[in-house]
Amino acid sequence: MADNKLSVIPLGGLGEFGMNIMALRYGDDIIVIDAGMMFPDDELLGVDIVTPDLTYLVDNRSHVRALILTHGHEDHIGAVPFFLAELNVPIYGTAFTLALVERRLDEHDLEEKPKLNIVKPKQIVEIGPFKIEFINVTHSIVSAVALAVTTPLGVVIHTGDFKVDPTPIDNELFDLHTFADYGKRGVLLLLSDSTNVDRPGYTESERAVRPRLEDIFNRAERRVVLSCFSSSVHRLQTIIDLSREFKRKVAFIGRSMTSVSEIAHSLGLLSIPDGVLVRPQDAMSLPASKVTLIVSGTQGEPMSSLSRVAVDNHKHVSVGPGDVVALSSRIIPGNEKSIFRMIDHLARRGADVIYGNMNPPLHVSGHASVEELRLILNLVRPRFFVPIHGEYRQMAKHARLAEHLKSAGLEESFVLETGDTLVIDSRGARRGPQVTVGRVCIDSGTIDEVVEDIVIRDRKHLSEDGIVLPIIAINKHTGRSETLPEIVSRGFSSAEDGSDLMMAARQVVAKTLESSSLEEMTDWGVMKEKVRADLKRYIVKQTSRRPLIMPVILEI
């Protein structure tokens, strides 16, 4: 790439939710913004997390200068350990974001110590030809920042995830002035969050949740059990403040909840008055009307604390008749079944379960709605615009939202997907060549962790059609099978070995053996393939199903 070209290279997060990662390249210098993961969909059986394919960055490793993080949500930092295993470059982020990164790095054994650099809003960092200013924004996690990246061709603004909260809990306001200031000076390119472009109006302030929580505390006569995302430090602060007002002790339940609250407290982002906290193991010994339990596991994850509490399988706490359980979180699409199953279990225990949309709200989004997105567009007034963070329909809608700026200097909007590139030079902006992208499936229970596509295909195959094992005993002296082959199946047929189908299948295998030459019989690889082919043909003809067939040959 020529020295006077700026390339915008999304490696994840465009046209999909999660796995956010983007590279900016000018000449021989590359900076990377975020390195997130996503959770697998139902088709990725047995996969724990999905991370972006870093082939492009690995192929250009000598040009990668730094990783810049906008905030600490998993879809923006979850892949950092895998990124560092390939590219040990300096990382820049706010103190809270880097503390969450360190917590993730503790789970991985990296060869080299990462170079973590703490930054603050309004700070400017120079990396090669890039001058990066960190701009304070409000979101559902504390210490989130947008980035203003000054390049030799102009300024690129990356909003990260944001909403414009006029009354944030910590009074750290969204820095609209800096956005406006860059807009006045001229912005080459705006990259803006599209998550909530389908929602009209404005996203409610985090403070809007307090009246509903206050009502719950007012009405609760026994335990209050509240579940929210552990990273929602402002929500935790509201719950702690209300617990103190209502003279209740607080216990954090769950590893992530305990860990994040400790980090936030140590950095001065979460205020916990003396005498308010109790240990999880002591919570049940307190009078039921004097305790608040803050529990992780809002999405009904099978081994999460709230799921274990719901089936009365938690080692420290339980719920019973009269307890109030409130889910102060959104239902992430795809998790409905597990969440409602968990709510059913809680209801069976006699708990009053509060969840879903209501007014005042029990949960508010951390992403900007239409009017806030329009506000940022009007303040920044970019020459070019690329919507980010969302599925294609949302990014396309966001691009249409920007059309009114065509009379105010907007030349063109580009709806890019992961792997597309945008090239900007003195002649303007245009789509560039595609780069290698994809997903890497991680199964933390396996030896090498990375799950190949063929393994996922086999898992899917097994889940749909089961497995059939023809077991053949061959005499090592004569090279012949002296007994009728056995057939074992799992997930294919509940029929016993004596059923017509299984008996006929055994005869098919026996016929294959009889028709094979002595030379073939001594080559087990050939025999396995012949048995597999003949048995597959028979089973497909009889049942229209295609189980995984794995012949086993025993020498006797």
Predicted confidence band of residue 448 (pLDDT cuts 50, 70, 90): very low
Q: Which residues contact 455 (CB under 8 A, 6 or more apart)?
A: none
The encoded tokens of residue 11 equal: 């490696």
Q: Is the pLDDT of residue 461 over 70?
A: no
Q: What is the pLDDT of residues 248-275, one digit of tens each?
A: 999 999 999 999 999 999 999 999 999 9
| Among candidate residues 319, 354, 389, the one where a domain is terminated | 354
Is 193 one of the annotated active-site residues of the chain?
A: yes
474 and 541 housed in the same domain: yes
470 and 395 housed in the same domain: no
Q: Is residue 460 part of a domain?
A: no
- Bridge partners (DSSP) of residue 51 are 440
132 and 267 housed in the same domain: no
| Among candidate residues 309, 335, 354, the one where a domain is terminated | 354
CB atoms near residue 285 (< 10 Å) = 8
**Tell me, what's the pLDDT at 447?**
36
User: Which carries the bigger pLDDT value, residue 33 or residue 48?
Assistant: 33
Q: Is the pLDDT of residue 493 over 90?
A: no
259 and 167 housed in the same domain: no
Q: Which residues contact 378 (CB under 8 A, 6 or more apart)?
A: 405
Please report the DSSP string for 349-386 in residue order.
Answer: TT-EEE-SS-SS-S---SS--HHHHHHHHHHH-EEEEE
Least confident window among 47-56, 58-67, 185-194: 47-56
Q: Is the pLDDT of residue 153 over 70?
A: yes
**Tell me, what's the pLDDT at 517?**
79
Q: Using CA atoms, how far apart are residues 203 and 421, in angstroms rounded to an integer?
A: 31
40 and 167 housed in the same domain: yes
Q: Is residue 450 part of a domain?
A: no
Q: What is the pLDDT of residues 511-550, one digit of tens each?
A: 888 888 777 777 778 888 888 888 888 888 888 887 888 8
56 and 112 housed in the same domain: yes
Residue 136 structural domain? 6-201+365-442
Q: Which residues contact 351 (CB under 8 A, 6 or more apart)?
A: 225, 319, 320, 321, 322, 323, 324, 325
- Mean pLDDT across 387-400: 96
108 and 141 housed in the same domain: yes
**Tell me, what's the pLDDT at 375?**
97
Least confident window among 116-130, 185-199, 372-386, 528-542: 528-542
- Bridge partners (DSSP) of residue 224 are 292, 324
Q: Is the pLDDT of residue 445 over 60?
A: no
| Among candidate residues 298, 319, 354, the one where a domain is terminated | 354
Least confident window among 324-338, 353-367, 446-460: 446-460
**What's the structural domain count of the chain?**
3
Predicted confidence band of residue 494 (pLDDT cuts 50, 70, 90): low
Q: Using CA atoms, how far apart are residues 199 and 491, in angstroms rounded to an integer?
A: 45
Q: Which of 180, 187, 122, 192 is closest to 151 using CA atoms? A: 187
**Tell me, what's the pLDDT at 408?**
86
Look at the alpha carbons of 250, 255, 256, 261 in this order and tell me if their dihedral is positive or negative: positive
Q: Is residue 249 part of a domain?
A: yes
Q: Is residue 137 part of a domain?
A: yes
Q: Which residues contact 391 (CB under 8 A, 6 or more apart)?
A: 15, 16, 17
Report the CATH number at residue 190: 3.60.15.10
Q: Is residue 302 part of a domain?
A: yes
Q: Is residue 448 part of a domain?
A: no
Predicted confidence band of residue 484 (pLDDT cuts 50, 70, 90): confident
Q: Where is 204: in which H helix or E strand?
A: none
- Mean pLDDT across 34-44: 76
**Tell me, what's the pLDDT at 469?**
86
Q: Which of 75, 165, 175, 193 is catalytic?
A: 193
116 and 192 housed in the same domain: yes
Is 420 one of the annotated active-site residues of the chain?
A: no
**Tell me, what's the pLDDT at 180?**
98
56 and 153 housed in the same domain: yes
188 and 210 housed in the same domain: no
Q: What is the pLDDT of residues 182-197, one digit of tens each?
A: 999 999 999 999 999 9
Q: SS3 for 79-116, per residue?
A: CHHHHHHHCCCCEEECHHHHHHHHHHHCCCCCCCCCCE
53 and 172 housed in the same domain: yes
Q: Is residue 429 part of a domain?
A: yes
Q: Which of 367, 389, 443, 534 is catalytic?
A: 367
Q: Is residue 513 part of a domain?
A: yes
182 and 215 housed in the same domain: no
Report the CATH number at residue 480: 3.10.20.580
